[in-house]
Amino acid sequence: MLKKEDLFLIRDLSSQNLSISEIARQTGFDRKTVRKYLQLKTLPEPQKRPGRKSKLDPYKPYMLKKLEEGSYTTARLYREIKEMGFDGGMTIVKDFVREVRPQQGVPAVFRYETKPGVQAQVDWAEMGTVEVDGKIKKLFCFNMILGYSRMKYVEFTLGIDTSTLIQCHLNAFEYFGGFTQEILYDNMKQVVIKRALKSSDSEWNSQFEDFFKCFGFIPRLCRPYRPQTKGKIENTVGYVKRDFFLGRRFTSLEDLNAQVHRWLERVNSTVHGTTYQIPLERFKEEKLIPLDQVPPYKVVHKETRKVSRDCYISFLGNKYSVPYRFAGRTAELQIFEGIFEVYVDYEKVCEHEILSGNCRVSRKKEHFQGLLSEILKENSKCKKELQIPLKFSGPEVEKRSLDIYETFSDGDFE
């Protein structure tokens, strides 16, 4: 298409009675072009060029659908469309997500950075519900992040009691190979019963107090209504929900934790958005207190179960046998270090290793020894009790007074 000034020039030359050939010679345009524009009665409207096709176009409907479902991270969307065949870069994905995602204002805060090995932050998150042993239970997520390196540890649980909290700490310490000088908490009841103005003067949960005194780290409590005090863990909780858990499928609690451990391997090896460094590399500078400086710490978690008539109890989707004489009784499970012990009326009756997965059965033959003979004995006893002796009886004879016979003998009858 010619520019407006070229069109005006052609018309001006035409008004001077110049031929089309002369106009073409002076302007350098083809004669057909000159003739075409001289025949136009109105100025042509500029036409928009069709947009260039993008590698991302085939994947935009999928990304829009996912963003309608929840606030997925750009990194996760990028990973998913890469698996679908996208061979472009991250930048084009970021630009598209930034364009379609609503912008929200964020108040400015002062970022507090900690030195290596000084502080970790801990928090719980509720993740909805799951069905376990035929019952609907709440699912929780334990999160710990090292303040300096941003190394993360995540574990899913079915409870938030103090025993579970301590066990999650031990698992995190094992994952990191040590622990920090202090750990920052929200004002959760599993940690503190009554908060004082000075954190060290607070009334601690006695079970948790025994734990942190044994290890020697200092528990810190964040200031009320100041979520930015523990902003690192707050961001971690949100990131776990958006980048890992949202839309996740799993078959059991063990399967979910196995998946999140694989996810941790990736995110701890990826450049962090704040430090612009890889947490695993920065972790080398952490000066954690080694675990071998602390004596072994045993955490016992207790739960109750009813022994079924077929002599089994259920735990996390699996069945475990119990000696048959306790069928129908209520038992207490004491769970620790991958096993649980079964107690009935304070008597330890058996123990089992906790099975992975679900719908599995742990059966011990000795729990059923003597059961068949006892059943046969009971059946025999019942048969004897049901046997009723038969009695034969002769014809019934009517009993009459002797006065009747005297009447007959005296002839006193008509």
pLDDT digits (tens, 9 = 90+) for 186-239: 889 999 998 877 766 789 999 999 999 999 999 998 865 455 455 566 678 888
| Rounded mean pLDDT, 374-378 | 75
What distance in Å separates the CA atoms of residue 92 and residue 86, rounded to the nearest whole number? Answer: 11
330 and 337 Cβ atoms separated by less than 8 Å: no
Sign of CA dihedral 323, 328, 329, 334: positive
Rg (CA), the chain: 42
**Could you tell me which of 82, 350, 369, 124 has the C-alpha nearest to residue 241?**
124
What distance in Å separates the CA atoms of residue 180 and residue 183, rounded to the nearest whole number? Answer: 7
What distance in Å separates the CA atoms of residue 354 and residue 38, rounded to the nearest whole number? Answer: 90
pLDDT at residue 225, as a whole number: 45
pLDDT tens digits for range 308-317: 999 999 998 8
SS3 72: coil
Compute the mean pLDDT over every residue in the chain, rounded to the nearest whole number: 84
Of 279 and 72, the one with more pLDDT: 279
Sign of CA dihedral 188, 107, 119, 157: positive
pLDDT at residue 72, as a whole number: 84
pLDDT at residue 28, as a whole number: 79
Q: What is the DSSP string of 385-397?
A: HH-----------
pLDDT at residue 277, as a whole number: 92
79 and 63 Cβ atoms separated by less than 8 Å: no
Helix (H) or strand (E) holding 344: strand 339-344
Contacts of residue 6, Cβ cutoff 8 Å, sequence gap at least 6: 27, 29
pLDDT tens digits for range 80-125: 999 999 998 888 898 888 888 765 555 554 455 789 999 999 999 9
What distance in Å separates the CA atoms of residue 291 and residue 307, rounded to the nearest whole number? Answer: 39
Domain boundaries, the chain: 4-39, 57-100, 119-293, 301-368
Go through 140-152 and write b for each residue having 16 or more CB atoms within 10 A of its CB, e for each that does not: bbbbbbbbbbbbb
The region of weakest confidence among 150-164, 217-231, 352-366 is 217-231
Distance, C-alpha 248 to centroid of its chain: 8
pLDDT at residue 16, as a whole number: 78
Q: What is the CATH number of domain 119-293?
A: 3.30.420.10
Please say if the pLDDT value at position 251 is more than 60. yes
Of 4 and 100, the one with more pLDDT: 100
| Rounded mean pLDDT, 279-294 | 93
What distance in Å separates the CA atoms of residue 319 and residue 339, rounded to the nearest whole number? Answer: 14
What tokens were used for 314?
A: 């259920």
pLDDT tens digits for range 328-338: 999 999 998 88
SS3 206: helix
pLDDT tens digits for range 71-90: 788 888 999 999 999 998 88
pLDDT tens digits for range 19-41: 888 888 878 788 888 888 787 76
What distance in Å separates the CA atoms of residue 35 and residue 114, rounded to the nearest whole number? Answer: 77
What tokens were used for 27?
A: 């302007």
CA distances from 236 to 125, 149, 150, 247 (A): 10, 13, 9, 18
What distance in Å separates the CA atoms of residue 316 and residue 131, rounded to the nearest whole number? Answer: 10
Percent of the chain with pLDDT over 90: 44
CA distances from 6 to 2, 3, 9, 36 (A): 6, 5, 5, 13
CA distances from 304 to 333, 345, 376 (A): 6, 12, 31
What distance in Å separates the CA atoms of residue 101 and residue 353, rounded to the nearest whole number? Answer: 48
Q: Across 227-231, 321-325, 386-390, which has the greatest mean pLDDT? A: 321-325
Helix (H) or strand (E) holding 170: helix 162-176
| Rounded mean pLDDT, 2-6 | 70
CA torsion angle 167 172 175 179 (round to 10): -120
pLDDT at residue 411, as a whole number: 53
What tokens were used for 209?
A: 């107090």
SS3 3: coil
Which ranges in 328-396 belong to alpha helices (H)?
A: 371-386
Please say if the pLDDT value at position 413 is more than 50. no
